Amino acid sequence: MAPPLLTLQDIDLTFGGDPVLEGAGFQVGPRERLCLVGRNGSGKSTLLKIAAGLIEPDRGERFVQPGVTIRYLPQEPDFTDFDDTLSYVAAGLGPGDDPHAARLMLEHLGLGGAEKPGSLSGGEARRCALARVLAPEPDILLLDEPTNHLDLPAIAWLENRLMAMGSAMVMISHDRAFLNNLSRATLWIDRGRVSRLDRGFGSFEAWRDETLEEEERERHKLDRRIVREEHWLRYGVTARRKRNVRRLDRLQELRRSKRDYRGPTGTVTMAAAAAEASGKLVIEAEHISKAWDGLQVVKDVSLRIARGDRLGIVGPNGAGKTTLLNLITGAEAPDSGKLRLGVNLEMVTLDQHRESLDDNETLRGALTEGRGDMVAVGGQQRHVISYMKDFLFSPEQAGTPLSALSGGERGRLMLARALARPSNLLVLDEPTNDLDLETLDLLQELLAAYEGTVLLVSHDRDFLDRVVTSVIHAEGDGRWVEYAGGYSDIAAQRPGGAEAGAASGKADKPPQPAAKTPPPSSPPSRRRMTYRDKHALETLPGKIAELEARIEAVEAELGRPGFYDEDPDRFHQLSETLAELSAELGEAEEKWLELELLKEELGD
């Protein structure tokens, strides 16, 4: 087996307060494709910077095999001191690299090399940063959110490029489809430590849930042991003082373990404040068109959106997704055509660039709109601290200026503000940016249960497949066509798949009529509690109490002064009985915990 190219071992790092990393580490072997996952704020980006040699940890070791080349893609590239995109990309080449590789990679990514960094859009800046790390073809690629700001054709190109490369990779991404397609092993950072699963991201979530369930069972057992030791301490035989001291030490150790335990990071609590139902017809657009500076962005588009529909809008950057969204919601007037909005609409919008956030405002002020300490959530008043906790903000962050929030925290704040207002029409422009995977799961569940209508612009293929009922796709030259189903269903209905023709702006042949969305498959059957399970759950507490009483009686007998001298055979017999009873008690407690967890899971 080849030695690892990069090793991090026993990494500790604290930025004041609780440690960010505590004994963290991992190895990267030749050609390995690892995804690094964890909650926002768990230290993923920090650990990747340590791997890149950009941050020095408080403690631990970083070892790179001699001669190994590493390239790191940051979330926010720094173009300082570079006059154009070509000079920025060329600066990433090593002494032995092809000097023409920089320009060639820029051309692959749709840039000419003469662009000024200050004039780049978010997508262009991301493609330029990708060109800088891909052009040298290093031994190790460290990629922090490589798909951010990229459109779907660019993401598809990047996936194909990375699959063809021989570099080892460590990737951070919120794009499930990207991780599923590329990763071959998963690194999970949780409470400062890193666990490894030697399977791709597709297997991670089930493994994570099993790990946390096992941890919860161990916590239940620890609590039971503490109760048993405290009971023994109060009522045990005082004559066995040496054994008492040992058990007292054991109890203190159990208490320390409980006190020092750092549980999993809490989950976001999401609920959309519901308004009165809208009319059955929400939006009707007839032959609407819009052009900017002579460029046709929307051409003769007709749409009919009914209450409860979930419409996704997809296409390459610059195709006019936000313009189309503004047209059909009435935020912009079309050059031609007619728009009719339904009655009783209560619309809430989440904008793509978080432009409605004032960086000088505090978190408290952004949620309360500067009106005291209360937040109006669905017409009800809640204290701002309580509502902040629903979205994983600590009370200490109430006075934090918004400029100090991370991208993920700003995304959660925008969701908190949007979901507090009553609505029956949610307009979401790139809501998945910077959100961690667990928060995305909860947002998907919220949208699935939302009784109103959803309009969604997104480049996240998995998110679209899970949320929308139809997709309107940019065909080029201002043409937009609606397809039934999610993003992956476009491939079955559109010649050449979802990306064909979109990047070049050339329309393909007219698409086939939209196919009906297949009915969802039946969910996998879950285990049910049998009569035997229910009977065991009712009788086990009594059995456990009986075993504890028998153990206490045997311990009292064994602790009687002079008992061993009087009858050593009886002493040994009772010692064996005590071991058997203790084992039986452990099995009974474990069975009871298993059944209790099953009961909670099934809601019985």
Q: Among candidates 53, 59, 76, 75, which has minimal Cα distance to 20?
A: 59
pLDDT at residue 105 greater than cutoff 60: yes
pLDDT for position 164:
93
6-206 and 527-604 have identical folds? no
6-206 CATH fold: Rossmann fold (3.40.50)
Tell me how far apart the alpha carbons of residues 597 and 603 are, in angstroms, rounded to a whole number: 10
527-604 CATH fold: Helix Hairpins (1.10.287)
Task: List b or e across 386-415, with b for residues whose CB sees 16 or more CB atoms inside 10 angstroms.
Answer: ebbebbbbeeebbeeebeebebbbbbbbbb
pLDDT for position 573:
84
What residues pair up with 169 in beta bridges, in sequence order? 33, 141
Question: Do 271 and 420 contact (CB within 8 A), yes or no?
Answer: no
- Identify the three-state secondary structure at position 521: coil
What residues pair up with 473 in beta bridges, in sequence order? 314, 481
Tell me how far apart the alpha carbons of residues 213 and 263 are, in angstroms, rounded to a whole number: 12
Domain ranges of the chain: 6-206, 212-265, 281-346+422-493, 527-604
Tell me how far apart the alpha carbons of residues 472 and 462 are, in angstroms, rounded to a whole number: 16
Q: Would you tell me how many other CB atoms lie within 10 Å of the CB of residue 531?
A: 7
pLDDT for position 421:
81
pLDDT digits (tens, 9 = 90+) for 288-325: 999 988 889 999 999 999 998 999 999 888 889 989 99
Tell me how far apart the alpha carbons of residues 149 and 399 are, in angstroms, rounded to a whole number: 30
pLDDT, mean over the chain:
82
CA-only gyration radius of the chain, Å: 30
Tell me how far apart the alpha carbons of residues 75 and 126 are, in angstroms, rounded to a whole number: 8
Tell me how far apart the alpha carbons of residues 422 and 551 are, in angstroms, rounded to a whole number: 59
Residue type, 589: E
Confidence bin at 520 (pLDDT 50/70/90): very low
pLDDT digits (tens, 9 = 90+) for 351-394: 655 556 788 888 888 888 777 888 877 667 888 888 888 777 87
380-383 vs 336-341, strand pairing mode = unpaired
Q: HEC profile for 378-421?
A: CCEEEEHHHHHHHCCCCHHHCCCEHHHCCHHHHHHHHHHHHHHC
Which residues make Cβ contacts (< 8 Å) with residue 242, sequence separation at least 6? Answer: none
pLDDT for position 564:
72
- Greater model confidence, 597 or 181: 181
pTM value surpassing 0.75: no
281-346+422-493 CATH fold: Rossmann fold (3.40.50)
Q: Among candidates 578, 279, 284, 330, which has minimal Cα distance to 452?
A: 279
Cα of first residue to Cα of last residue in the chain, in angstroms, is 50
Residue type, 172: I
What residues pair up with 288 in beta bridges, in sequence order? 301
